Amino acid sequence: MEPTVTITRRGADRLAAGHPWIYRGDVDRAPAGLRGGEVVAMKDGRGRFLGKAFWSARSKIALRTLTREDVPVDEEFFAERLASAVALREAAFPGEPSVRLVHGEADLLPGLVIDRFGDVAVLQTLVPGTETRKQLLVDLLWDRLRLRSVVERNDVRVRELEGLPQVKGVLRGEEPGALEYREGAARMRLDVLGGQKTGAFLDQRENRLRAGAYARGKCLDCFSYAGAFALQLAGRAEHVTAVELQAPAAAQLRDNVALNGLQNVEVAEANAFDFLRDASEREPEYDLVVLDPPAFAKNKDALPAARRGYKEINLRAMQILKPGGILVTASCSYHMSEALLEEVVLDAARDAGRPAQLLEKRGAGRDHPVLMGVPETHYLKCFVVRLP
């Protein structure tokens, strides 16, 4: 029998509305000595059962709901949740070996992220509830997916909010070594232990393929990282300039260009803000510009400065696009809502003195589902805009 945590009316209303998080201020009573990672039963002030959740002893998010049903949260529970997540990917991307396999709360597995690259799985256990069950999760993955390696990329700051250390390494099997995966016809090399996050940013995969369909003439890919957008643009464009500031990423970008045998991609190792500013001082020369920056707003307090940053890069991009040019602009900042990003893009268009036609509103790929009622899972926004 799990220990019981009583939550306030406000917390109960939040659960009823479909959000799985209960903040510490909405915990009315909790047993003394509860350890982070324990599964607890949630009840309201009248003693009515509301669900079961992971307990956090340190985070502002005290409870992360696992189920609204009064069922055992055991090995079978996690095996079924993992099977459901795998089934979604098999339906959305049949035969695709590289996918986001588990996407945290959106897959009803809070605090757990798993990316798969063929026979290698990359695990992030971001809260004590998943950290204390890490070996169980590895066992379930190993038994189901015929892997040769499971690694953890738990070197992320969010774990510090839970009192967890930053670590990375092999959890089971062999060192994964250098890997390769495909996005459409493009081949991409990645390093799951040395690269950013889990080694690749799979959330933009479908947006990159879509951007490639718009490519023509002279294209610019800003904040290129390993060049995934640039490789898609190169299939149709006459020339692509990929801008990346970090030397290791720029080296990986060049390696990916060579791997694909491309002669029409130029790598500019530069600050994207500076590159865009300098380009805006010349006559418009680009037919398509991609803006895929890192998250400018890590928290709500950073939003005003982030808004200015997004405004600047979108304004510069519009200034360098030829008539009829296409802007593919993205934000992975949760705090930059879709409505706010649209407002920023419109402000930039006004300042540029150009009309803007919004062709598409896109988000993360289907292997990064959005859980309805949980706006935090709708973090990635991507607009396709035409400047007539």
Token couple for 164: 């967890």
On whether the CB atoms of residues 384 and 328 are closer than 8 A, the answer is: yes
Is 382 a residue of the active site? no
* Residue of 219, 222, 332, 382 marked catalytic: 332
On whether the CB atoms of residues 58 and 126 are closer than 8 A, the answer is: no
Other C-beta atoms closer than 10 Å to the C-beta of 143 total 10
What is residue 172's DSSP assignment?
Answer: E
Q: How far is CA 108 from CA 68, 69, 146, 249, in A?
A: 11, 13, 23, 33
- Give the pairing type, strands 21-23 and 27-29: unpaired
Token couple for 241: 């300039």
φ, ψ at 163 (rounded to 5°): 75, 25
CA distance 301 to 226: 30
* H/E run at residue 94: none
Q: What is the DSSP string of 324-338?
A: EEEEEEEE--TTS-H
What b/e sequence results for 73-86 when a residue is b if at least 16 CB atoms lie within 10 Å of its CB, and e otherwise?
beeebbbebbeebb
Other C-beta atoms closer than 10 Å to the C-beta of 120 total 26
Where in the sequence numbering do the catalytic residues fall? Answer: 332
